């Protein structure tokens, strides 16, 4: 199949293949940016059902990507191949983890389809492990496949997402297009003389303030435990982000989801870790979020964020509800790319604003 050397994408919307799609965080962003998702895939049944629910026009193939051999023609291939082997919270031994080589399945599809562009997403740990050798290995493989490759570590909070979430993006542009991708600049942050245009970070408290204050059955709780599910270890990890700040990273394990910002503050009552003992943490009667606004709601009983609140913090549509039980909902939402961040990246790509010449300028 002959490929065009024209770097512009058709106005009708670029055809996109989405791999390791999860519940569609990247896909929501692609669609908002004008993309047409023609194929998506995930190995989890609930995630596939969620994709079918929200992307009825897309061909959704559920199962191991290694077993899929045929793909439609597409302008772009995207995917967030599983990141647990590179995660800062994982076992940190990628050489022994079979998921480390899942990028090769992504690469296989890129080589088969030969899209104009590809966008891969992973955790920040990919850049750090092995002094960068794992990232270098992947980039070299994409270059051998015929792509001009750039990567950048982005924090979702810098683009209006009410959450601090660092993710590494790798973007490839087919070499015959003579272009490379330049990542978009931050739109949010602390304004300075050098960057006076930056908007303030988005408040996660404001993002969820209109949701029910006690959504029974939508968050992790163990009311019959002595500590009610708030172990000393959970409490010791600073699990409460300030109302006006972006939330801490939304994770895929509902037991480790952070506290609602309307919860009371915490205090360390005693600690004896040196002698092999643990710690004791207690909730106070103080509410730091009301200092800036007395009208803000107050949780008399502290709780973790609900899955619905996590979805809004991730910037999914307000009516978004993934298929599955509560645990599955948290898994899908926590593993997703924030749709708003994805939209920024793909608008930058689809519009051509992020494409610059890859040819070195000649000196006269």
| CATH code of the domain covering residue 264 | 3.90.120
Sign (positive/negative) of CA torsion 35, 358, 130, 114? positive
Domain that holds residue 254: 204-334
- Pair 160, 113 in one domain: yes
Based on the residue annotation, tell me whether 83 is a catalytic residue of this protein: yes
* 37 is a domain residue: yes
- Band the pLDDT of 292: cuts 50, 70, 90: confident
- Pair 38, 130 in one domain: yes
Alpha carbons 54 and 261: distance in angstroms, whole number: 30
- Pair 318, 215 in one domain: yes
> Could you report the per-residue pLDDT of 256-266, keeping only the tens digit for each?
999 999 999 99
- Pair 283, 344 in one domain: no
* 245 is a domain residue: yes
- Pair 330, 348 in one domain: no
Q: How many domains does the chain have?
A: 2
Q: Give yes or no for a contact between 266 and 240, defined as CB atoms under 8 angstroms apart.
A: yes
Location of structure tokens 């962003």: 29
* 140 is a domain residue: yes
- Band the pLDDT of 49: cuts 50, 70, 90: very high
Alpha carbons 334 and 313: distance in angstroms, whole number: 10
* 135 is a domain residue: yes
* 195 is a domain residue: no
Q: Give yes or no for a contact between 116 and 9, defined as CB atoms under 8 angstroms apart.
A: yes
Catalytic residue among 23, 48, 83, 310: 83
- Pair 219, 164 in one domain: no
* 1 is a domain residue: no
What integer pLDDT is reported at residue 19 of this predicted model? 98
**Cα angle: 118, vertex 23, 77; to 5 degrees:** 10
* 6 is a domain residue: no
Q: Give yes or no for a contact between 286 and 264, defined as CB atoms under 8 angstroms apart.
A: yes
- Pair 223, 303 in one domain: yes
First to last CA, the chain: 39
- Concatenating the DSSP letter of every residue in 279-313 gives EEEEE-S--GGGSS-TTS---SS--BPPHHHHHHH
- Pair 352, 226 in one domain: no
Location of structure tokens 């290694």: 66
* 196 is a domain residue: no
- Pair 61, 98 in one domain: yes
Q: Measuring CA to CA, which residue among 219, 163, 155, 217 is closest to residue 187?
A: 155
Alpha carbons 311 and 339: distance in angstroms, whole number: 10
- Pair 76, 110 in one domain: yes
Q: Measuring CA to CA, which residue among 23, 16, 20 is closest to residue 336?
A: 23
> Could you report the per-residue pLDDT of 72-90, keeping only the tens digit for each?
999 999 999 985 444 444 4
pTM reported for the whole predicted model: 0.91
- Pair 157, 234 in one domain: no
- Pair 130, 240 in one domain: no
CATH of the domain at 44: 3.40.50.150
């Amino acid at each position: 199949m002959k490929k065009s050397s024209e770097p512009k994408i058709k106005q009708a919307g670029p055809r996109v293949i989405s791999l390791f799609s999860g519940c569609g965080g990247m896909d929501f962003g692609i669609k908002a940016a004008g993309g047409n998702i023609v194929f998506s895939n995930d190995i989890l049944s609930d995630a596939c059902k969620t994709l079918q629910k929200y992307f009825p026009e897309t061909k959704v193939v559920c199962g191991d990507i290694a077993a899929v051999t045929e793909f439609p023609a597409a302008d772009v291939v995207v995917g967030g191949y599983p990141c647990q082997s590179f995660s800062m919270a994982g076992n940190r031994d990628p050489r022994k983890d079979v998921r480390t080589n899942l990028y090769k399945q992504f690469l296989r599809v890129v080589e088969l389809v030969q899209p104009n562009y590809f966008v891969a997403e992973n955790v920040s740990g990919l850049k750090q492990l092995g002094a960068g050798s794992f990232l270098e290995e992947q980039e070299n493989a994409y270059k051998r496949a015929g792509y001009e490759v750039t990567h950048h570590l982005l924090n979702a909070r810098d683009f209006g997402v009410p959450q601090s979430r660092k993710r590494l993006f790798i973007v490839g542009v087919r070499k015959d297009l003579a272009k490379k991708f330049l990542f978009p600049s931050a739109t949010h942050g602390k304004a300075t003389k050098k960057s006076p245009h930056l908007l303030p970070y988005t408040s996660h408290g404001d993002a969820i303030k209109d949701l029910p204050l006690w959504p029974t059955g939508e968050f992790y709780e163990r009311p019959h435990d002595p500590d009610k599910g708030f172990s000393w270890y959970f409490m010791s990890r600073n699990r409460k982000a300030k109302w006006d700040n972006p939330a801490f990273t939304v994770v895929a394990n509902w037991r480790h989801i952070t506290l609602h910002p309307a919860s009371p503050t915490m205090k360390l009552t005693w600690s004896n870790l040196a002698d092999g003992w643990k710690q004791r943490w207690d909730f106070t009667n103080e509410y730091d979020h009301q200092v800036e606004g007395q009208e803000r709601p107050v949780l008399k009983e502290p709780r973790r964020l609900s899955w619905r609140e996590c979805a809004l913090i991730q910037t999914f549509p307000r009516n978004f509800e993934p298929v599955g039980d509560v645990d599955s909902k948290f898994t899908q939402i926590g593993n997703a790319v924030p749709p708003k961040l994805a939209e920024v990246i793909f608008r930058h790509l689809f519009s051509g604003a992020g494409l610059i010449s890859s040819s070195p300028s000649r000196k006269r």
